[in-house]
Amino acid sequence: MHTIETNQISSAICVVSAIGETLLITNPEGESIVAECLSGVPRLSPGDRVLVHLPSTPAVIIGRLGGIPDELILEAGKSLTIRCGSGSLRIRADGRVLIEGLDVISRARRAQRITGAQVAIN
């Protein structure tokens, strides 16, 4: 499992290098470092602001900042977890989706359906 801590993510200005496919980004300290993109990151242009995981080598561009994409895909081989405090959402490769929290609230403006081969409440 690879965990990215929020203090390891920084906004940086992306600068495309003239050397082949190599991407250089300028980190917040003004240093140029080599970076690679996660799959699904749209084509980048010089001057694009990007969200970057800086501690890895090369740095990993997680996404482009600004504008809202039509679709965003995050992929992981075994599981993907989004965690904030004591709440979490985990999606596992076997198809299980686990939502955990002190309280879980589900709201719908229209119909809310619960379907499954078996539905257990309490």
Q: State pLDDT tens for residues 51-110.
A: 888 877 888 888 888 766 677 777 888 999 999 899 999 999 999 999 999 999 999 999
Has this prediction a pTM greater than 0.75? no
* pLDDT band at residue 19 under the 50/70/90 scheme: very low
Q: What pLDDT does 3 receive?
A: 61
SS3 state at 48? coil
Q: Which of 22, 88, 86 is nearest to 59 (CA)?
A: 22
Asked if the model's pLDDT at residue 7 lies above 80, the reply is: no
| Rounded distance between C-alpha atoms, residue 60 and residue 6, angstroms | 14
| Rounded distance between C-alpha atoms, residue 47 and residue 55, angstroms | 21
| Rounded distance between C-alpha atoms, residue 21 and residue 5, angstroms | 28
E strand intervals along 1-122:
9-16, 23-26, 32-37, 49-53, 59-64, 79-84, 87-92, 97-100
CATH class of the domain whose range is 6-64: mainly beta
What residues does CATH 2.40.50.140 cover in the chain?
6-64
* pLDDT band at residue 111 under the 50/70/90 scheme: very high
15, 16, 18, 92, 116 from 56: Cα distances, Å: 18, 19, 22, 24, 41
